[in-house]
Amino acid sequence: MGNALWYVVIGVGVLILLVFIFVLVKYFNIWLRAFVTRTGISLPQLIGMSLQKVNARVIVESQIMAVQAGLPRIDTRALSAHYLAQGNVRRVVQSLIVAHRAKIDLNWDTAAAIDLAGRNVLDAVQTSVDPKVIDCPDPRRGSGRTTLDGVAKDGIQLKARARVTVRTNLAQLVGGATEETVIARVGEGIVSAIGSSYSHKEVLANPMLIAKAVLDRSLDSQTAYEIVSIDIADIDVGENVGARLQADQAEADVRVARARAEERRAQAIATEQEMKALTQENRAKVVLAEADVPRAIASAYRSGNLRNRNPEGNGR
C-alpha cells in the first residue's frame, strides 16, 4: 500500500515537472524578454493570457515598446482587454509613443477609444504632429469639380481652388466630422465670400481676403480636424453672369411683351368677329322687317283701310 502511494506521488511529481518544462520551453524566451526590459509581466500572467486566447507576444512586445520609449507603465490587463475587444494594441502603443515624443496630451483610454471607434489613431497622431493638406475641391472624392465657382456683386464669375492645411483634433476625433465635411464647409465659405465681394477686382487683387473671411467662420467646429490655414492656390475669371442674366431677362421681357400683344390682337379679332356677327344679325332683322311691309299693304287692301285719293282730295 505504501509503495502504491509512493508511485502515485512520483507520477504526480513527474507530471508537474513535465508541465513545468513545457511551460518553460514555451514561454521562457518571451518571459525573459519581458524580465530583462522590466515590463513587469510575470510568467503566470503569460499563462493566463494564453488561457484567455490573448496573443502574449503582442502584449509583451507592446509593453516593451512603451517601457523603452519612457511611457508611464500601461496596465497589462488593459492591454489584454483591448486585444480581446478586437483592438490593435501595437498601433495604440505606437500612437502613444509618437504623442509622448511630440509632447501631445494623449492617454491610454483616449487612444484605445479612438482605435475601437474605427479610426486610425496612429495616423491621427501623426497628422496632429505633421499637418496634412487637403485640396478643395478634391476631384478624387466623386464630385468631379475642379474649381469653386462664385459670382461677385458686379456679376463676374470667379473660379477658385484652395488648399486647406489641417491637423487632427484628438479631443473631437471620436464623433467628429470627417474631411468631407471640412471640404464642404470651406467650399461653401469661399463661394459665400466671393458672393459678398462688391467687385471681382478686389478678390483678384487680394485673394487672402477670401481666406481670412473663411477662417473667421470657425468652420472646423465639431469636426475631427483643426484648420491651420487656407491658401488660395488659383483663381480665374469666368463668364459675365450678370450680363448673361440681364440678356436672359431682356429676352424674357420681349417674349412676355409678344405674348401680351398676341393676346390683345386675339381679343381685337374676337371683338371684330362679334361685331360682324351683330351686323349680320341686324341685317337679318331689317330683311324681316322689309318682308312685313308688303304683307301689311296687302292686309290693308283687303280690309279697305287703304284708299286712293285724287288730287282734289275727293275719294271715291
pLDDT tens figures, 229-265? 888 888 888 777 777 777 778 888 888 888 888 888 8
Cα separation, 119 vs 116, in Å, equals 7
Q: How far is the CA of 255 from the CAs of 247, 252, 258, 262, 267, in angstroms?
A: 12, 5, 5, 10, 18
pLDDT tens, position by position, 161-197: 888 888 888 878 777 778 888 888 888 888 888 888 8
Collect all residues with Cβ–Cβ distance below 8 Å to 126 and sequence separation of at least 6. Answer: 98
* Low-confidence winner among 39-53, 108-122, 148-162, 295-309 (lowest mean pLDDT): 295-309
Rounded distance between C-alpha atoms, residue 78 and residue 282, angstroms: 110
Instruction: Quickly state the pLDDT bin for 22 (edges 50, 70, 90).
Output: low
For residue 39, give the C-alpha cell.
Answer: 515590463
Q: What is the pTM of this model?
A: 0.61
Q: Give yes or no for a contact between 189 and 219, defined as CB atoms under 8 angstroms apart.
A: yes
* Cα torsion 43, 45, 51, 53: sign: negative
Q: What is the pLDDT of residues 55-107, one digit of tens each?
A: 888 888 888 888 888 888 888 888 889 998 989 999 999 999 998 888 888 88
Per-residue 3-state assignment (H helix, E strand, C coil) for 187-223: HHHHHHHHHCCCCHHHHHHCCHHHHHHHHCCCCCCCE
Domain boundaries in the chain? 19-125, 136-240
For residue 136, the cross-strand partners are 162
Instruction: Give CA–CA dist 41/314, Å, rounded.
Output: 163
Higher-scoring residue by pLDDT: 247, 126: 126
At the fourth CATH level, which superfamily is domain 136-240?
Band 7 domain (3.30.479.30)
Q: Which stretch of DSSP H or E encloses residue 167?
A: strand 156-168
Region 17-42: mean pLDDT is 69
